[in-house]
Each structure stands twice: as structure tokens, then as C-alpha cells.
Structure 1
Amino acid sequence: MPRYKSKIKQHLPQSRGDELFLEMGSRVLRGFSEDRFLSWCGAGAGQVHVRGPLSPAGRDASRAFVTGDRSAAGLVDHVSDLSSSEMLTLQSWLSFYEKNYKFVGRVIGRFYGEDGLPTPELTQAEAMIRRGAEAGRGAREEKRTFPPCNAEWSSSRGRRLWCSPESGGVSRDWTGVPRKLYKPGAKEPRCVCVRTTGPPSNQARGLPAHTNRGDLDHPHLEEYAGCPPLAVTCSFPLP
């Protein structure tokens, strides 16, 4: 593994002129001046923590990129208790800034040792990011299989749920029918559109189709009471 130049926090370069230094994930990046940075990022950039007027010198404020906590307690590099999805958000921020800032070095501390090599805490953080990415891929795949229903409610007609070839923002060559999808750990089911023909989505490729019911027999699905099983629209008038 290559060694990188590390910097002790007290000896980090000072922001000057048209430069500004940003510390995140114990990486030190050189980029725009604060004025240019705020102009470039927009009014919400005040939530981004950079060296200089926006944060104390020599501080890695990685946690605040996710939590938004700008207090002294929040401007820290402690991230071990964040969720995998929150760590994935942090990685997205880092990737974004690395495209626009020049890499200067790494801060000796929580994530890198004096030799510039990763610490066990960085290894743990990277593992959480990978889990977040895997969970994200799983969620996208589930959304393709079970797109959300269209829904509306009115004081005169009550609630209506229906499916269309682009409901849930998922463009497809089938329409589907509304079903309740129960997710482990979720308090309430959600309405999804379920394919009604062809083999099940989880059937291994190359095997003969044993049914022509699509995903209707998925064990986490339930029909809506009072709605015909193959109806594209389910209406629930007010009592």
C-alpha cells in the first residue's frame, strides 16, 4: 500500500488569499476561497464545514456532514455509531469534494497513523460504507420488482390506490396490481404494484416456469380487503 504525506493537526497549512482547506475523513483538500466556495455551493453551503471562519482550525468535522450538528460537540470525526446509510452519505460528500479540491495530505489521528496508513477505525468505516452501498443496491432492486403504487385521497371520494406502467417512477412493460408489502421491522405495510404474469422474479434463470402468476405468491404480500384480486385500481370510499 502506498504511503501518503500525513500532517499533524497543529501543523496544517493555513487558509490564505484565494485558498481554503477542507478536512473530511482525515483528508486535507485545498480548494476555493470561502467566498467562491459559498457562491459555488449556494446558500446552503453554511452547513459545510471548512477550515477558516466556518470551523475551528485543524478539525476533522466529518460527523457534521451527516448530522448537521454545528456545535462543538458535533464538529468531530467520531462516526462509529452512524448507520451504514449515513456512512454512505458521508462517502458521497467526500467524493463530491475530491472532484473539486486538490488532495494535500492526511491528518494523523482517528483514521490514519503517522505512517500514513489506515487505522482499524478507517477499516471499520469503509466496511460500513460497503454495507450501505449493498443495502442501496438491494433497495433499488426491490423497487424495480415492487414499484410503489399511485395514491390519492379526497374528502368526498375517500382513498384510491392504483398502478400504471410508470407508477413509483419505475418505467416498465407491465402495469401490476396493488398489494400490501410487509417488510421485516417495518411498522406498517406499504402499497406496491405487483406483476401478475410470467415466472416469479426470484426464480433462477434457465428453470422452467412453474406458475404464470408473476410475483402474486410472494410471502410478504397481502391483498387489499374489498378490492378484486386482479384490479388495477382499489378504491376505498369513506364510510
Structure 2
Amino acid sequence: MSYIKPLVTFSCAVGGVALLLCLDIFKPQREKLISLIPTNIKDRVFSDISAHSKDRLFTLDELEKYRGQDGNDIYLAILGQVFDVTKGRKHYGPGGTYHFFTGNAGTRAFVSGDFSQQGLKENLDGLSLKDIQGISGWVDFYHQQYTYIGKLVGHFYDENGNPTAAMDEFENLLEQAKQKQKEDDEDLKRFPPCNSETKVGVSRRIWCSENSGGIKRDWTGVPRQYFQPGNSQARCACVRDKGPPSSGGSSSNNGDLNNPNMKVYDGCEPTATSCATPKDRLFTLKELERYRGQVYLAILGQVFDVTKGSKHYGPGGTYHFFTEYAGTRAFASGDFSPQGLTENLDGLSLEDIQKISDWVNFYHKKYTYKGKLTGHFYDKNGNPTKAMNNFERLLEQAKKKPKYRDEDRKRFPRCITHYEVGFGRKMMCSKNRQEIV
């Protein structure tokens, strides 16, 4: 055993020398030492290191091999970044709702909703800043949920894996989108959204409070139609009715009531903090079918005018089928066949119920609410049916579920994840890590 002590000493000495050679001040000595290594060994060693440290580069032909046939892996590309989505085979594998995204380069379709061969393309010309931010959000989603594999050579990265002019343009637009989002957030603080509730057959009530729109403040304000510059649709905003205006040099003391972008709702008192809009209109399915040019859509028995989205909902649009049926179930199931476009929600999970509720909120925010569809969820008088009452009951259960999930995350917080292309994903824990996302 007498050889152990010299061996340990020798190992420590070698380790110490190696550590010192890593420092920049010893760069000349390091390069000289490397030059003494035989070329054949040096090339093999350092090429292996390079191969592991750089992103794997795919051509589109290579990517097409990974579509899940015969149980093979499934790869998907977005913004020139390739992800292994094999664990989501149910959705991305053959027969899955999103199979068309695999083995393909279709970044634009993630926000355009055009899933045809013409729509599945990389060209992002003409997309809005909101769409650009949407693509960035999808990229973040895939980094969080799936495994990053490498880069797709073509539109966003060249044959060496370097960003192309198209990627530089995307990054520039993304910066603009973030700035626009910052401005929109400041606008929401200045003119918070109203509270609203709809009672079928009675009216839709809108009102302001010191916490309406989820924005806490020390004033209540009055509801107004807000025609924000750059937006084609008005939204309900709570407007300060006392003190100086939020912008401009006016000396008035009635807040933002004189703002030219504000309009009093029909039937509302100008100084009222709460008011009711007219009674809901009731539609039959046969009446709803007449609205194909002026496009109407129903979900959970609520009818919306989606004409401004005719590109998607009009004849030939990706989601035109939603205007032909009362198909609430499909919003959660992803089954867009005539059999899947049904109002029956039996067997759906609580997550699916929450998803339908989120879609209803989406249409309330983005499109114009028109009334109620009589049938499955509302009777001929516009009163909720047993099916609607059952939905509300399940939705209450769905809302409680995140509470237990959040409690679990407090016990077992998520790791902090940091990702850099070419370096991989780094995970760590700290006292300041996010508990709930």
C-alpha cells in the first residue's frame, strides 16, 4: 500500500497544473502543450467536444423522418428550433390533432391558425406585433414542456447554425412587441377594465370598483366605451371622474371624462358607477345559421359576432365549422368532426370544463357578445337549463382544483430554469424561486 501516497500526490499535482492552465495568464503555455499532442488524437478529442457543445443541425429532409411512424420519435420545429415532443404522442403522433406540425417548418401557423399546406410556412411577413409575441410565447412553452434538440437549417438559421436576417428581423419585431405590451399594460393601469356580469333574459351589468379589472387603486371611476387608438374594437374602461386628467396640461378637475376616446354607454347615466345594457337577444339554431356573411358563433349557449375574424371564421376559414354547428365540446376535445361538434359535455374532465370557460372569456374580450342560443344550455325564455347548471357546478369544482395544486407547489416549489441556445438548460433551486406559475 506504500504506492498510494505517491499516487495521490501525483494526481493532485496534475489536477493543480490543469487548473492553472485553464487561466488566461497561462494561455501561451496551454497552447504550446496542446501543440505537442499528435494531430490524429487532437482532432478526435476536440471534435468530440465540439460536437457535444454545439447545437445539432437538421435539414428539413432529416426532420421529416421524425413524425412518429412505427413508434419512432416525434420532432417539431418552431422559429428554427427543434424539439422532441415524443412524450406528447397523443397530440403530435399519427392521428393526433397537431400531427401536421411535426416534420415540418410551419412557424406562421402557430398564430395564424391556417393549418393548410399553404399556411404551414416560415415566412412571417405581415404578422402583427401581438402575433410575434405569440410565437415567442410558443417557443417558451416548448422549452418548458419538451426537450430542445437543435436547430433547423433554412429560414431562421444558416448551414452553420448562425441566425439569418429573418431571425434578426424577428428579434427586432419582438423588442417592438415587448415595448407595445409595456405601453398596453400602462394603459390598463390608467383605464382599468370594468367588471361585468350577464343575466340571461334580464340584462348585462357593467360597473367600476377600486379593484375592477384586477387593478387595485384608490379611486372607483365610471364605465365608458374606450376607443383606444390603434384598436378597431372598443372596450369597457373605468375612467376617473375627479382630479386632473391623466395626460395633457388641462386644468379641469373632472379626471378623464373629457378624453375624446371615451363614450358614454347607451342607457347609462354619465355619472353612474354601474349601469345595465339592454336585454339579451335569443337565437334559435336555425336563426344562427343565417349569419354566415356577418359571421356569428355560439359557445356554451352564448352568441358572438366574429365578423372581424372572417379570415378564420368565414367561408374557407380554418374555423368556419364552428359557425355551422353548436359545438361547445370541440373547444376542449379538439374533435372537429361533425360528431365532435356537439353541445353534450358528458365525460369531460375538470380541466376541459375550465378550458371551455376560458374560451367563453376569450370571446367576450375579443368579439362582440350578441345574445343567447336557445337549446341545450338555455331554454326558450333564455333561462339556464339543467345542462348549464351542471356546467356551473363542475366549473366551481375546477376552480377549486388549482388551490390544491398551488398548495402542492408551495410544498415542492418549481426549479428555476435558464436556457441558452448552444449551452443547454440550467436548473437550480434558491430561496427566491417561484412557487406558483
Same fold (TM over 0.5): yes
Q: Is the counterpart of residue 6 in structure 1 residue 51 in structure 2?
A: no
Mean Cα deviation higher: 158-167 or 87-96? 158-167
> 1:112 corresponds to which residue?
157
Question: Cα gap change, 1:40/1:174 in structure 2, threshold over 3 Å: closer, same or farther?
Answer: farther
> 1:90 corresponds to which residue?
135
Question: Retained in 1: the 8 A contact 2:91–2:99?
Answer: no
1:164-193 Cα offsets, whole Å, 9 max, x none, are: 223334333321112332333555644321
Question: Retained in 2: the 8 A contact 1:20–1:50?
Answer: no
Q: Is the counterpart of residue 195 in structure 1 residue 203 in structure 2?
A: no
Aligned-residue offset at 1:89 = 0.9
> 1:67 corresponds to which residue?
112
Question: Cα gap change, 1:3/1:84 in structure 2, threshold over 3 Å: closer, same or farther?
Answer: farther
Q: Within 1, Cα distance between the matches of 2:79 and 2:233?
A: 37
Aligned-residue offset at 1:111 = 0.9
User: What is the 5 A alignment of 1:84-163?
Assistant: 84-151=129-196, 161-163=206-208
Question: Cα gap change, 1:40/1:176 in structure 2, threshold over 3 Å: closer, same or farther?
Answer: same
The answer to which structure has the higher helix fraction is: 2
Question: Retained in 1: the 8 A contact 2:204–2:276?
Answer: yes
Question: Cα gap change, 1:214/1:61 in structure 2, threshold over 3 Å: closer, same or farther?
Answer: same
Question: Cα gap change, 1:102/1:155 in structure 2, threshold over 3 Å: closer, same or farther?
Answer: closer
1:122-167 Cα offsets, whole Å, 9 max, x none, are: 1112222222222222222212211233456779876754322233
Q: Within 1, Cα distance between the matches of 2:159 and 2:126?
A: 25
Q: Within 1, Cα distance between the matches of 2:236 and 2:243?
A: 21
Q: Within 2, Cα distance between the matches of 1:3 and 1:173?
A: 54
Q: What letter is aligned with 1:116?
A: G
User: What is the 5 A alignment of 1:40-59?
Assistant: 46-47=97-98, 49-51=100-102, 57=103, 59=104
Question: Cα gap change, 1:226/1:123 in structure 2, threshold over 3 Å: closer, same or farther?
Answer: same
TM-score normalised over the length of structure 2 = 0.43
Question: Cα gap change, 1:228/1:102 in structure 2, threshold over 3 Å: closer, same or farther?
Answer: closer
Q: Which has the larger radius of gyration?
A: 2
Question: Cα gap change, 1:119/1:214 in structure 2, threshold over 3 Å: closer, same or farther?
Answer: same
Question: Retained in 1: the 8 A contact 2:266–2:277?
Answer: no
> 1:174 corresponds to which residue?
219
Question: Cα gap change, 1:237/1:71 in structure 2, threshold over 3 Å: closer, same or farther?
Answer: closer
Alignment RMSD: 3.6
> 1:54 corresponds to which residue?
none
Quick one: percent identity of the two aligned structures?
33
Which runs of 5 or more residues in structure 1 are unaligned? 52-56
Q: How many residues align?
A: 221
Q: Is the counterpart of residue 25 in structure 1 residue 76 in structure 2?
A: no
Q: Within 2, Cα distance between the matches of 1:69 and 1:236?
A: 36
Question: Retained in 1: the 8 A contact 2:130–2:177?
Answer: yes
Aligned-residue offset at 1:197 = 3.5
1:133 alignment partner, SS class: helix
Higher relative contact order (CA 8 A, sep 6+): 1
